[in-house]
Amino acid sequence: MNLQEIIEKRRSIRAFEKRDVPEDVIKQLLEAARLAPSAHNIQSWRYFIVNNFETRKKLHEAEAFNQEFVYDAPVILVCCADLAGYPKPIKGWDNTPRDYGLIDLTIATQTLS
């Protein structure tokens, strides 16, 4: 399958099978995200793997996600950005660390799919 076919066949999943996701599949996805480009090569993304019922329940109770179907997934990847490593912006010229962090996290997370 080429890249164009992958893009065209992309779909959103809202119903999940009740089976574990193999650890090697999760590692492969995280490796793809790790290879994504980032500003200043900071690689500020942090992924937390949630694959147990108790943690998923706590996320649900805290209303961490607006979409109920997320809590039914066998694995939830919580995607975060650590902004501490970005340089201070140059006034009137540069984006803020928050901007860089969100952009970098978005790019890296897209490569997970």
The DSSP-derived string for the chain is --HHHHHHH--------SSPPPHHHHHHHHHHHHTS--GGG---EEEEEE-SHHHHHHHHHTT--S-GGGGGSS-EEEEEE-GGGSPPPPTTTS--HHHHHHHHHHHHHHTT-
pTM of the model: 0.80
* pLDDT above 80 (res 102): yes
State pLDDT tens for residues 67-87: 999 999 999 999 999 998 888
Q: What CATH number is attached to the domain comprising 76?
A: 3.40.109.10
Q: Is residue 9, in this structure, part of any structural domain at all?
A: no
State pLDDT tens for residues 17-36: 889 999 999 999 999 999 99
Q: Is residue 57, in this structure, part of any structural domain at all?
A: yes
| Count: domains in the chain | 1
Domain limits at 26? 16-110
